[in-house]
Chain A
């Protein structure tokens, strides 16, 4: 009997690589991270490889490091492998040349992904793998989850046979994250491909002092060239090796693959050649078109390198007269993309009697959809007498006019495949339940199954769309569902945001989770939805899944309830069978988490069917709900027409001309989103408020603002606008308001948690309290709009050393899509308030770059003068260097400006020139004056005709002090970027480095970094981290001339403020390490600031400031340890989990953690007691 498994591409590949490796080096990068995570988890569980030993899994500081480890492991005779993608693969390239040059067998598995160019993208295309095509690695491409598993084995087998290192790649997300039903490869099959003799040869070639050899020589012009040519026979033989391996694979598994695999009409005239998942969409379309009488075909290129020209040409039907070669990459300035060029060369060298016409095209960059409609357009192009060459498909290129038109309505979705689409929110468990459903159907029926999941770009309030297909044949549709039999809307609010029923076909089934009863729901539907239900004659079902979930003990997780509904009405399985399967699956999934968890899910299953109702829609429309107008309509043209369209989910329709050519986007745009994701928002009680400003300071989303103003401004205030007398003596006679942006708040509740003022009559109430948002939305929207019209307090008049007053400063970082209750963003907002109008920010890739600049909008904002932080992200690994580049550049240009000004002093006025050149600019007032002086200078320069004046004019603004900030997370600062960071620390230049330390790789899903503390459970540290956290601050202090502060806003906000001010004022390198609570800690994010405080009280996090110019350079600002570390550790799931998964290890590591903090505290106490060391602050910069 054939065995099947339902899993995603990453797991399928990792399973093979793990079993065939002894050493695996890993580093997280989307979308390849799960392969490393699987390998680490299996090793932690003691799972054996094919030879009966647990592979050594080692996490490195970067992909470059991982490649180095693999190289070393290979040279010493081990079977080694790694997984990566995108920028990670680029970092491996130097080692890849070495590994290939030394004829060393290995396989790198790549979830192929776009490269950062005009912008970063985490999604799939072949840009990364194509960047390695010169390294000498054979490149094997798989097109589906089944193939990804199969080719993983073929690659591991072929590398041993050929001695050439293999790059096995498959499409990021489309294949790496697609869940599909596949036939797994058992150990016995793997064993058949392992040639012991080849392994013995590998061992024999290993470096060993017992038979020493020398490798990595420096070669000179006399012999290098010849040495390089020695490998040719291996490449000549490679295709034969792969073909033999594929043949053996077919014998053993029944699945036959070809190096250049043709599918289509034997007498096809038009052929598409391509690689990757898109080939399966072409395969499907070819079948559909041939069934209509066309003569088309597809060549799936499996082995891209070494490109076997003869085999490729032989794969083409002799009737071929036109070929379109599709590349999922772009090489600007080339004669054509790489596959196209290879095909053209191969055909040319084949000296065919009749040369087919060959054109090249680009498709699918960054997971752009590639549908049968697009495939048809490519074939149609080949029918033209003059087919367009170097075309694009899938976009509208109104700039280069490269694009082919296509008929989006063309669809070949077969009737035999059941298609279901689910709309949900990240928080409701929709995706998890759907993954479960796929497993149930895949493993309990004869049907094949496919699941693909689309997430939006926000970390809070994110929406998900699940696409599920089930059918009797393997599913090749490598694109989103275009016509669905079943649509479920798991959150009623999504009906207002999206055209949820756009994809449903006539007569389809629509399931809605709604708080309304079946008899009353109709009138609560948007009119558009009503119209679609009637027009398409849908079968309409409702359930109050939230209530069923709540009453079953499931809280907000309505997933099990809606999963039951799906099976009950979608007719995929007999209802009773489906319910039994769900129950079985629940026991399997949740059993280890405790009987209660199983029972609450089973209760939900039992309760569901009694609450599921079919609605007989009335024949008339009576919906009052219309889609609310987009706030982007009020935005400037680009924001409205481009960003607003992306926000509305219509980005695919934007033409090329809509996009900036150089990737430059405006700031100040998050304000137009108005996502309305908070169920509850804070409401201010002016009577209770003590006006301390803490709520505004900690608000991670900058939705709480404070203003102090003259009473006269209240004349036009809306009726519900709140204000009271300002309490601070400096504000005597003025009014005070705390206003919430109701439509931008995420409802995290941190503001309420930190509010120190309590209502004297009801102690549960504070000066700010969470209340339901919908009833307040309209009034508070007006209040917010009015609040924005109130004047900002003159920055020169704000005493910034005191939070109460400092919080009057306008945030220039607002409404980010970071996780609700994020621990990082309050620091960035503070930065933006204090220095934002003159700040340049170099931001390492990571959470802060994603919530900082994931299209369509950015939270980085501007003040009324149009000033605000200028922000850029270069890479993950180079951010410190990137930011140093800012400083060096600014300093040089300022120096040049000063030189020019000295020369022009007599013309612009000696007094003005001297004032500008000698200005200290130490506070807001002095900076203001300098800006005034520079404005005057520019006026004068406009009237001057000298060359110096022309040169000085564009540089004049550099004469106003600029603040350079280098921002990133601990993954950057402690690991991948540490080399550069260390160099910048030693540079002495005036840069400010802000490390948002979450003690884990947050953005990629919680992998261990060197900032991860001992005893924490993280991915790549499933058994708890054994080593202590790296002391980055101590390393920085060792330079003597670096200002270093370690802060935790939740522990002492005034300390944080002081550190930011001192760091920026210090004329040298400043490093602030900011403790940032994080969703990856497994904590209640509402009370995250309490976790920060607990971390400090237990000594887990030290507060200190090291000021090189102070006599006592180190000031230890933490209180003495108040509680044992265990008290703190048990507050956070990252530690507590270890007491459940490895209790003995937890006890041991907790004890060591206590020793760590005690010893570290003592060390810092002793350092704080020592006088300042001699520093080189004066000379060293």
Chain B
């Protein structure tokens, strides 16, 4: 029985990949992930805009209030050398690669092209096995058209692909007018995989303080429904591989996503809530299920319930909603 899968040109022992999160900021955690059975780790995201702000901020604080008062013409020693986020990130990649045998996938997060190509190139040079681009955009400008937003995504992917020789995955949100078309176009510009879906932080309110708060909401198993649908729809329709992320808490969740057509399933919330050993437990449960149901490999099941291969392709379309309403009974409340 084999859990082996392919992703981004790599043969992975299982489809259980750790998704990008602050957990991988700690080198010990990465070792523990590998020990628990993760087949690859996507490192925490390097936030391009944040890096830029960080540099502006440091520059501001090193110059603010200087050359104003004769006794205190500056307030800090002039640093000979400064290592910003990218340098630390590259060092982290190098250390992670030395520490574990599993592939290390770097993650770049941002909204505009900016200096992504340079960062991507340096990440590639630092030894990352692949790169995940997390394009994290909430377009709020009413003047900005959907076409412009989409073109921005395509430009970023095309530019990064041209800059690096390692495979590039693109992590996306689901909010496109025609997601399948967007997926196809990303495929066309060379994305090696699509990671579905990014879970944007949703704002909340603190009514006592009258403030908008952002806090992390962990996913639930029910969160897999959205990636499940779109992976199932895209499977076989695009060249790029598919990674499922959001809501993978159990072996059943992972198996469902594989049957939808995912090459890998990514874990995050479950590791925060229940610890890194969950990776091994999920793997064992997957094997048990496969054994019980007489599956011999992941390859065998991949895409088996996709729109291409399932018995009712319309189930992924609007009819499913209609059917759901028809079968709904008030006493279910």
Write the residues of chain A forming the contact surface with B, with a CB cutoff of 8 angstroms: 30-31, 33-34, 37, 40-41, 44-45, 122, 173, 177, 425-427, 429-432, 435, 453, 455, 458-459, 462, 464, 555, 557, 590, 592-597, 758, 763, 819, 850, 1002-1006, 1017-1019, 1021-1022, 1079-1080, 1082-1083, 1133-1134, 1136-1137, 1139-1141, 1143
Contacts and interface: CB of A to CB of B under 8 A. Distances in A.
Contact of A455 (B59, B70, B78, B209): B70
Nearest to A1023: B77
Contact of A595 (B69, B80, B88, B115): B115
Q: Among B57, B81, B210, which residue has the most Cβ atoms of chain A within 10 A?
A: B210
Contact of B75 (A41, A427, A462, A1082): A1082
8 contacts: A37-B77, A593-B82, A594-B59, A1017-B77, A1019-B77, A1079-B75, A1082-B76, A1141-B80
Contact of B59 (A177, A430, A431, A593): A593
B62 A593 contact: yes
Contacts of B83: 1140-1141, 1143
A45 B77 CA distance: 11
Interface of B: 52, 55-84, 88, 91, 115, 209-211
Contacts of A819: 65
A1022 B79 CA distance: 7
A1140 B79 contact: yes
A1082 B61 contact: yes
Given A37-B77, A1141-B82, A429 B65 contact: no
Nearest to B51: A594
Given A41-B77, A594-B55, A1018-B77, A432 B63 contact: yes
Identify the 7 closest CB pairs spanning chains A and B, nearest first: A426-B68, A594-B55, A1005-B72, A1082-B61, A1133-B61, A431-B67, A1006-B75
Contact of A1134 (B60, B68, B76): B76
B70 A1140 contact: no
A850 B314 CA distance: 79
A1017 B79 CA distance: 10
Contacts of A595: 115
Nearest to A760: B210
Contacts of B79: 592, 1022, 1137, 1140-1141
Contacts of B77: 37, 40-41, 44, 1017-1019, 1021-1022
Nearest to B114: A596
Contact of B55 (A425, A597, A1021): A597
Contacts of A592: 79-82
B75 A1005 contact: yes
Nearest to A466: B67
B79 to A, nearest CB: 4
Contacts of A1136: 58
A768 to B, nearest CB: 15
Given A462-B68, A593-B59, 19 more contacts: A30-B71, A31-B70, A425-B68, A426-B66, A431-B73, A458-B69, A459-B72, A592-B81, A594-B82, A594-B84, A596-B55, A763-B211, A850-B71, A1005-B75, A1006-B75, A1019-B75, A1079-B75, A1080-B72, A1082-B61
Given A431-B67, A819-B65, A1005 B81 contact: no
A173 B67 CA distance: 14
B82 A1140 contact: yes
A680 B63 CA distance: 22
Nearest to B73: A1005
B59 A597 contact: yes
A93 B101 CA distance: 66
A414 to B, nearest CB: 28
A45 B80 CA distance: 7
A596 B56 contact: yes
Given A429-B63, A596-B52, A1017 B71 contact: no
Contact of B76 (A44, A1083, A1133): A1133
Contact of B68 (A122, A459, A1019, A1083): A459
B246 to A, nearest CB: 28
Contact of A1079 (B64, B73, B78): B64
B93 to A, nearest CB: 14
Contacts of A431: 67, 73
A1136 B55 CA distance: 12
Contact of A593 (B55, B64, B65, B88): B55
A1134 B76 CA distance: 8
A127 to B, nearest CB: 18
A819 B71 CA distance: 13
B61 to A, nearest CB: 4
Contact of B74 (A430, A1006, A1021): A1006
B70 to A, nearest CB: 4
A1003 B211 CA distance: 37
Contacts of A1022: 77, 79
Contacts of B52: 594, 596
Given A1017-B77, A1140-B79, A173 B72 contact: no
Nearest to B67: A431
A819 B68 CA distance: 10
Contacts of B73: 34, 431, 1005
Contacts of A425: 68
B103 to A, nearest CB: 25
A656 to B, nearest CB: 25
A491 to B, nearest CB: 13
Given A122-B71, A592-B79, A593-B82, A432 B66 contact: yes
B76 A1006 contact: yes
A1021 B77 CA distance: 8
B77 to A, nearest CB: 4
Nearest to B211: A763
Contacts of B81: 592, 1141
Given A30-B70, A426-B67, A1018 B62 contact: no
Q: Among B58, B63, B71, B210, which residue has the most Cβ atoms of chain A within 10 A?
A: B71
A338 B267 CA distance: 82
A427 B210 contact: no
B210 A758 contact: yes
